[in-house]
Chain A
Amino acid sequence: MKDIFHLHEQMKLKKTSAVELTQECLKNANESKNPVFISKLDDRALLQAQRAQERFSKNQSLSYLDGIPFTLKDLFITQDIRTTASSKILYNYIPPYDGYVSENLQKAGGVLIGKVSCDQFGMGSTNENTPFPKCFNPVNDAYVAGGSSGASAASVKENSSYYSIGTDTGGSTRLPAHFCGIVGYKPTYGRVSRYGQIAFASSLDQAAPLANSVLDMGCIIEHITSKDQRDPTQAPLGAMNLVSQLSQAKPSDLKGKKIGYSSYFIEACDSEVKKAMYEAIDTFKKLGCECVEIDLPHAKYSVSVYYLIATSEASANLARFDGIHFGHRTNQASGLEETYIKSRTEGFGDEVKRRILIGTFSLSSGYQDAYFSKACKVRRLISNDFKEAFNKCDFILNPVCASAAFKRGESKSDPFKMYMNDLFTIPASLSGLPCLSIPFSQTKEGLPIGIQLIGKSFQDEELLLSARAFEVRQ
């Protein structure tokens, strides 16, 4: 597989074409046994590819993304194309409008291969919380692809698409990227419009691309960062134009950069990840970086803070799925109350119900101060820790997860235990920081191991440039 950047050059030189790339992706998708897709759009994609090809033949290509096949996590609203959130409650939902991400990527010429599976409403780390067939890790089918954007990572890894847009609330993009051996990038909270992204936790959710390289991230991010007048929490910074800088990045750019790391997190990992992390530190040192130990004293509370805040927000965000205006309505009810209860009970999966219950409890009268409000205060302390740490370093290097990919079915035995796996990705989410997971090593069994880099708030450019410099090391 080649970079989007280079494919674009080849398409310009007519060495390959949008139709060729699309047919290739569709072929891979159709031959795969992995149930990655919820909706596959063969005919529509080919039509888009033909149009792109016509533009190239007239030397009128729209962007680096023109003619490049991609997939969308099924949390992204696509006009007239079924959007399920991987749930029963939206099983037959056909959006009457187009979301920001879908609209902008297709405007840039992107070829939408299909909508891919995920954990229901983005809640999970294995892509197993879904009423649809469960997808698995393309590297080794005994393992999960990660979650919640597991199928997004799988579609890229299996060459069914060149990139996918996932979502990252507490690590949902970084984790599957780590499990599948690709790049997953969560921009600073507020960099990409959330309009048309089905909400899980509003103060944490962010659209997050998965792709084969950091350079590809530059090609993608340019098209999903323009200011959208429909999301007030999107910062008015405008499109991020980074492709040419990224394409020129070299390892020596890292000279003199300060990389912070916390032994607390590294020591919490299994031996293979731990080993990879120390190797990564050595590699940065060899590239001329200074690696410094940092302290994030409140980060260890992140899991508690996250699971109170995210579920509280989710309990309200998911109230609109009530069987009245759209989505599943029970046929077992008489009266209003029963319509609500039965529609929702039938429509949501167990993990979603568990989280709604936690969130409802955390906000409820008599408990809000001790749970939701307390969590928000500790969130502030976590955020302050990062500010403090960034006085000492340019980036933070952290594991993505304590281990490589989980075995399939593991999440079923104890859903609570799964929450602990988010410890490494959640702190940056709570503070809204930009972060990415890039492939670095692998286990003896051959499972990928990624590393996570966390940047300063709204300094996504610096983060991506350094990550690219690291990526192109020998």
Chain B
Amino acid sequence: MSYEAIIGLEIHAQLSTQTKAWCFCEINTTAYENTKTCPVCTAQPGTLPFLNTKAVDYAIRAGLALNCEINLLSKFDRKNYFYPDLPKGYQITQFERPIAINGSLSILDDEGHEKKVGIQRIQMEEDTGKSMHMGDSSLINLNRSGTPLIEIVGEPDIRSAKEASGYFKKIQSILVYLDICHGNMQEGNLRCDVNLSLRKKGAKEFGTRTEVKNLNSFRSVERAIAYEWERQASLLDNGQKVQQQTLLFDVESGKTRVLRTKSDADDYRYFPEPDLMPLVITQERVVKIKEELPELPDDKIRRFVTDYSLPLYDAEVLSSSLSLANYFEECLTFFDGEPKKISNWVMVELLKLINEYNADISKSPVPAKELASLVNFVQKGEISGKIGKDVLVKMYDEKKTASEVINELGVKQISDTDSIEKIVREIVDSNPGEVEKYLNGKDRVFGFFVGQVMKQTKGQANPQIVSETLKKILSEKNE
């Protein structure tokens, strides 16, 4: 049978503030265990949370960038559950009245058409600590406890794995553009929960959904959706029911497994957090944050297309991450030619190296200035495009400037017509037999002359000029 998937994503993003949500502890993921902790984030008796106002600014930024309404009066609630990495016995979150609601984000559907995904709400909350197994026991580290998070709850408007990862990617890129989240998935800065249910194509009512928790890569999101889709479909095909469950996705096996089945025991007893003030935000504060919002990916794409005459595809690739876009624009400040030329080199040659080394463009061993200088050499014909690629590899590997590598390799192209003409004449004059053959119609001999010139110039002669000069001199012989 043919089903349609109803998919909604909940994305948890750690905010990149200096300090935690409720206390003055530094957020530091590499510190020794339980050294970035204090009475508040370890929930010692008698302690109280005090909201970090920067986290509020960041949440407002996210709300505005995702086209939300900002609630000028929101509040915090306690979500009650026991867990060893949650020392208070409740998580402070926003249940009844979150900071931002009713937003949207446009993505591309599988046919490449633009489509809007609703953002139901953005709520502020806190991260938990971490636990680690040691044989039969567990060790608990509370350095992460109380790190501010926003949870972006999307409407179930997504219909495919590709849409889902596209949506997730776009959220990630926006959060990094806003400078409110480091966006590093390996470090857990961003986690995604996928809610998925199936219904027969054309049906109106929703099926029972499952929730796959804590996906930390775009690829895992796609794979988890593909697996759940398949699994639920086969259950339904066999007349079985889908159970409302919370699942975990195993990256090794590519399968989901049950974490818990939803039941009455999940009673979080939400109620307003009496230790915090209601969150009052002035309209002036919202306006100020709005004015200071940076350019977002969609605007950047439009600008790249209009200002730099880039194809839409290039603009999208370059804008997919803020550091890439910044790198590209920095190159342009050192370059006079067509921006498209830079775009080609960044998108194709440099990104190939970056990806190969699993590196980060913001830490590229080839600074923007040097990439621009390399492209300049090519544009002026001082080196060939083909040699340019080799030069770039060496620049990347050895962290050298373009001109250093070109000099070292001695690959600078000879484009000076006079000196090329001198070499060509010498070769033509010292090979009268070959000239004869050429004049008698053996065109292949032309290649012999090119080869000789290249040999003599160690490949540095500009091939186009060589070819033009040869034709000119050989035609003189014909007269």
Q: Quick one: which of A55-114 are within 8 Å of B by CB?
A: 75-77, 83, 85, 90, 93, 95-97, 99
Contact residue range for chain A? 35 or more
CA distance A76 to B45 in the complex (A): 9
Q: Do A320 and B45 touch across chains, with their CB atoms under 8 A apart?
A: yes
**Is B275 on the interface with A (CB-CB < 8 A)?**
yes
**Is A174 on the interface with B (CB-CB < 8 A)?**
no
CA distance A233 to B272 in the complex (A): 14
Q: Quick one: which of A186-208 are within 8 Å of B by CB?
A: 194-199, 201-203
B276 partner residues in chain A, CB cutoff 8 A:
232-233
Known: A319-B88, A322-B89. A233 touches B275 (CB 8 A): yes
Q: Do A319 and B48 touch across chains, with their CB atoms under 8 A apart?
A: no
Q: Quick one: which of A314-329 are within 8 Å of B by CB?
A: 315-316, 318-322, 324-326
Stretch of B79-87, B371-379, B466-474 contacting A (4+ beta carbons < 8 Å)? B79-87
Most buried by A among B40, B140, B271: B271
Most buried by A among B44, B49, B140, B264: B44
Q: Do B88 and A320 touch across chains, with their CB atoms under 8 A apart?
A: yes
**Is A246 on the interface with B (CB-CB < 8 A)?**
no
Q: Do B271 and A198 touch across chains, with their CB atoms under 8 A apart?
A: no
**Is A372 on the interface with B (CB-CB < 8 A)?**
yes
Q: Which of A97, A318, A319, A336 contacts B44 (CB 8 A)?
A: A97
Cβ of A13 to closest chain B Cβ, rounded Å: 39
Cβ of B340 to closest chain A Cβ, rounded Å: 54
Cβ of A458 to closest chain B Cβ, rounded Å: 15
Cβ of B230 to closest chain A Cβ, rounded Å: 33
A364 partner residues in chain B, CB cutoff 8 A:
267, 269
Known: A316-B89, A320-B87. A198 touches B46 (CB 8 A): yes
Cβ of B231 to closest chain A Cβ, rounded Å: 29
Q: Quick one: which of B79-115 are within 8 Å of A by CB?
A: 80, 82, 84, 87-90
Q: Do A340 and B82 touch across chains, with their CB atoms under 8 A apart?
A: yes
Q: Which of A77, A316, A363 contacts B45 (CB 8 A)?
A: A77
CA distance A315 to B48 in the complex (A): 16
**Is A312 on the interface with B (CB-CB < 8 A)?**
yes
Taken residue by residue from 119 to 150, chain B's Cβ proximity to chain A (1 for < 8 Å, 0 otherwise) reads as: 00000000000000000000010100000000
A324 partner residues in chain B, CB cutoff 8 A:
84, 87, 140
Q: Do A202 and B271 touch across chains, with their CB atoms under 8 A apart?
A: no
Q: Quick one: which of A353-379 are within 8 Å of B by CB?
A: 360, 363-365, 368, 372
Most buried by A among B43, B45, B50, B88: B45
**Is B47 on the interface with A (CB-CB < 8 A)?**
yes
B277 nearest in chain A by CB position:
A232
Q: Do B269 and A203 touch across chains, with their CB atoms under 8 A apart?
A: no
Cβ of B52 to closest chain A Cβ, rounded Å: 11
B78 partner residues in chain A, CB cutoff 8 A:
316
CA distance A365 to B265 in the complex (A): 10
B23 nearest in chain A by CB position:
A230
**Is A229 on the interface with B (CB-CB < 8 A)?**
yes
Q: Do B45 and A233 touch across chains, with their CB atoms under 8 A apart?
A: no
Cβ of B84 to closest chain A Cβ, rounded Å: 5
Q: Do B274 and A232 touch across chains, with their CB atoms under 8 A apart?
A: no
Known: A233-B277, A319-B90. A363 touches B46 (CB 8 A): no
Cβ of B291 to closest chain A Cβ, rounded Å: 28
**Is B39 on the interface with A (CB-CB < 8 A)?**
yes
Q: Do A196 and B84 touch across chains, with their CB atoms under 8 A apart?
A: no
Most buried by B among A76, A96, A202, A324: A324
CA distance A198 to B48 in the complex (A): 10
Q: Which of A77, A93, A99, A232 contacts B49 (CB 8 A)?
A: A232
**Is B185 on the interface with A (CB-CB < 8 A)?**
no
Q: Do B39 and A97 touch across chains, with their CB atoms under 8 A apart?
A: yes
Cβ of A351 to closest chain B Cβ, rounded Å: 18
B48 partner residues in chain A, CB cutoff 8 A:
194-195, 230-233
CA distance A336 to B137 in the complex (A): 10
CA distance A157 to B42 in the complex (A): 38
**Is A313 on the interface with B (CB-CB < 8 A)?**
yes
Taken residue by residue from 189 to 216, chain B's Cβ proximity to chain A (1 for < 8 Å, 0 otherwise) reads as: 0000000000000000000000000000
CA distance A313 to B276 in the complex (A): 13
Contact residue range for chain B? 20 to 34
A320 partner residues in chain B, CB cutoff 8 A:
43, 45, 87-89
B353 partner residues in chain A, CB cutoff 8 A:
none
Q: Do B277 and A198 touch across chains, with their CB atoms under 8 A apart?
A: no
Q: Do B43 and A232 touch across chains, with their CB atoms under 8 A apart?
A: no
Q: Do A325 and B42 touch across chains, with their CB atoms under 8 A apart?
A: yes
**Is B51 on the interface with A (CB-CB < 8 A)?**
yes
Q: Quick one: which of B245-291 are within 8 Å of A by CB?
A: 264, 267, 269, 271, 274-277
B43 nearest in chain A by CB position:
A320
CA distance A203 to B38 in the complex (A): 24
B47 partner residues in chain A, CB cutoff 8 A:
97, 195-196, 230
Q: Do A197 and B90 touch across chains, with their CB atoms under 8 A apart?
A: no
CA distance A93 to B46 in the complex (A): 12
CA distance A195 to B47 in the complex (A): 5
B42 partner residues in chain A, CB cutoff 8 A:
325
Q: Which of B46, B51, B142, B269 contacts A196 (CB 8 A)?
A: B46
Cβ of A89 to closest chain B Cβ, rounded Å: 10
A325 partner residues in chain B, CB cutoff 8 A:
42-43, 87, 140, 142
Q: Do A368 and B269 touch across chains, with their CB atoms under 8 A apart?
A: yes
Q: Quick one: which of B153-182 are within 8 Å of A by CB?
A: none
CA distance A320 to B437 in the complex (A): 97
B40 partner residues in chain A, CB cutoff 8 A:
230
A325 nearest in chain B by CB position:
B87
A95 partner residues in chain B, CB cutoff 8 A:
39, 44-46
Q: Quick one: which of A207-242 are within 8 Å of B by CB?
A: 229-233
B275 partner residues in chain A, CB cutoff 8 A:
199, 202, 232-233
B264 partner residues in chain A, CB cutoff 8 A:
365
CA distance A96 to B38 in the complex (A): 9
B39 partner residues in chain A, CB cutoff 8 A:
95-97
Known: A77-B45, A233-B275, A325-B42. A316 touches B50 (CB 8 A): no
Cβ of A72 to closest chain B Cβ, rounded Å: 12
CA distance A322 to B140 in the complex (A): 14
Q: Do B271 and A312 touch across chains, with their CB atoms under 8 A apart?
A: yes
B89 partner residues in chain A, CB cutoff 8 A:
316, 318-320, 322
Q: Do A197 and B46 touch across chains, with their CB atoms under 8 A apart?
A: yes
CA distance A320 to B362 in the complex (A): 43
Taken residue by residue from 286 to 321, chain A's Cβ proximity to chain B (1 for < 8 Å, 0 otherwise) reads as: 000000000000000000000000001101101111
Q: Do B269 and A83 touch across chains, with their CB atoms under 8 A apart?
A: no
Q: Do A232 and B51 touch across chains, with their CB atoms under 8 A apart?
A: yes
Most buried by A among B40, B48, B84: B48
CA distance A257 to B471 in the complex (A): 116
Cβ of B263 to closest chain A Cβ, rounded Å: 11
CA distance A194 to B40 in the complex (A): 13
Cβ of B55 to closest chain A Cβ, rounded Å: 13
A197 partner residues in chain B, CB cutoff 8 A:
46
B269 partner residues in chain A, CB cutoff 8 A:
315-316, 360, 363-365, 368
Known: A96-B39, A316-B89, A320-B89. A203 touches B46 (CB 8 A): no
A365 partner residues in chain B, CB cutoff 8 A:
264, 267, 269
B266 nearest in chain A by CB position:
A365
CA distance A336 to B82 in the complex (A): 10
Most buried by B among A96, A312, A316: A316
A202 partner residues in chain B, CB cutoff 8 A:
274-275
Cβ of A114 to closest chain B Cβ, rounded Å: 18
> 9 interchain pairs (CB within 8 A)?
A198-B45, A232-B49, A232-B275, A233-B48, A233-B274, A316-B89, A319-B90, A322-B82, A325-B87
* Sample of 19 further A-B pairs with CB below 8 A, known A97-B38, A312-B271, A319-B80: A77-B45, A95-B39, A97-B39, A99-B46, A194-B46, A198-B46, A199-B45, A232-B50, A232-B277, A233-B275, A316-B78, A316-B89, A316-B90, A319-B89, A319-B90, A320-B43, A320-B87, A340-B82, A360-B269
9 smallest CB-CB distances across A and B, nearest first, come from A319-B89, A202-B274, A363-B269, A203-B274, A77-B46, A97-B39, A196-B46, A320-B43, A198-B45
